[in-house]
Amino acid sequence: MKKVLIIGDPGVDDAFAIMYALRHPEIEVVGIVSGYGNVSQQDTVRNTKLLLDLADLEEIPIILGADRPLTGEEPQYFYDVHGNYGLGGLIPDSPASIKVYPLTKVYELIDEHGKDLTLANLSRLSTLALMYLHPENNLDQVDQVLIMGGAFHVPGNVTPLAEANVYGDPQAAKVVAKHGRNLTFIPLNVSNRAIITNEVIDYLAQNSSSPYTPILEPIMSYYSKQYETIMPGINGAPLHDVTLFSYLLNPDRYFTVNRQVHVTVDGPSRGLTHADFRPNPKTLDKDPIHTIVVDFDSSFFVKDFIKIMS
Ligand code: RIB
Ligand code: CA
């Protein structure tokens, strides 16, 4: 059983990743940190609550993460891609009140689960950077930290060069790359190919029996429609954030390299991530070496997604 603490910004692909993790028989979600990114923190908290309530998992704590980049600049949201409420075409109820925990709860959860715990960061890296910058943090106790982020020598998605989670707070990404240990980056190189088709969602909507079955189609259809413009010719959409949990449980289906990760924080190439992929790379300073996932078995990804979501 893998215990995971999720940091996310649901967001359509985050929502699918959370559903996948909550439905997976070998994953135990110990908490969900709601940040900002795809949509505002107010929306990510409400969306997280909806996903937990549908599965009767109200006991999983919702924790407030960062609500803006480290610099304090206003976040840029993506309601055009993720829908008016962040869940595609779904219009969620607004509960009168939602119980949330302060960020200090993550240190308690790390103390409690230690080496059994994986951190899965699906959003801007602001919360994770704040955690690393805390002088008394206990992040060295966790097993590993998985990050959906970066675009290594491939086109970005928010700019020609940058991936959204890094671009949204590049200073935070730089802090994490410098201070993090046992980090694995799953970048666009892989996640852009983690495409779930409309037919798969139709199949699940008609043949699965989970508390999430009724919401699959409303969430996905808006998002995949937007992706027709973002990636012309695509049938469906990439579920970037699901790759973290697929990788966690099936690492033999993913191909990795170990390199230092570099981030450009400003200028026209803000948010660019790069690494020295030469066979004999040069290392700079004493910065740590991280794992970067560069390829995967995309047909396995789809089959496994169908299995878990069924
Ligand atoms: O670039 C893709 C990432 O940005 C995903 O995590 C998506 O949810 C957004 O946060
Ligand atoms: Ca996300």
240 ligand 1 Cβ < 6 A = yes
Q: What is the pLDDT of residues 44-100, one digit of tens each?
A: 999 999 999 999 999 999 999 999 999 899 999 999 999 999 999 999 998 889 999
pLDDT mean over 33-37: 98
Q: Which ligand is nearest to the CA of 48?
A: 2
Longest CA pairwise span in the chain (Å): 57
What mean pLDDT is predicted for residues 129-142? 96
CB atoms within 10 A of CB 143: 16
Nearest CA to ligand 1 atom 10: 123
pLDDT (average), residues 8-24 = 98
Per-residue pLDDT at 286: 86
Rounded CA separation 92/38 (Å): 16
Q: What is the pLDDT of residues 77-93, one digit of tens each?
A: 999 999 999 999 999 99
For ligand 1, is residue 169 a contact (CB within 6 Å)?
no
- The residue-averaged pLDDT of 280-291 equals 92
- Compute the distance from residue 78 Cα to the ligand 2 centre, in Å: 11
DSSP symbol at 30: E
Half-sphere exposure of 273 (CA within 13 A, CB side): 35
Average pLDDT of the residues in 264-273: 98
Predicted pLDDT at 166: 98
CA of 96 to the centre of ligand 2 (A): 25
pLDDT value at residue 31: 98
Q: Give the other-Cβ count within 10 Å of 188's Cβ.
A: 25
Average pLDDT, the chain: 97
39 CA to centre of ligand 2 in angstroms: 10
How many A from CA of 285 to the centre of ligand 2?
A: 31
Q: Model confidence at 270, in pLDDT bands (50, 70, 90)?
A: very high
- Domains of the chain, first to last: 2-309 (3.90.245.10)
Task: Determine phi and psi for 260, rounding to 5 degrees.
Answer: -70, 150
Question: Using CA atoms, how far apart are residues 188 and 200, in angstroms rounded to an integer?
Answer: 21
Tell me the pLDDT band of 276, cut-offs 50, 70 and 90.
very high
Share of the chain above pLDDT 90, in %: 97
pLDDT of the residue at 242: 98
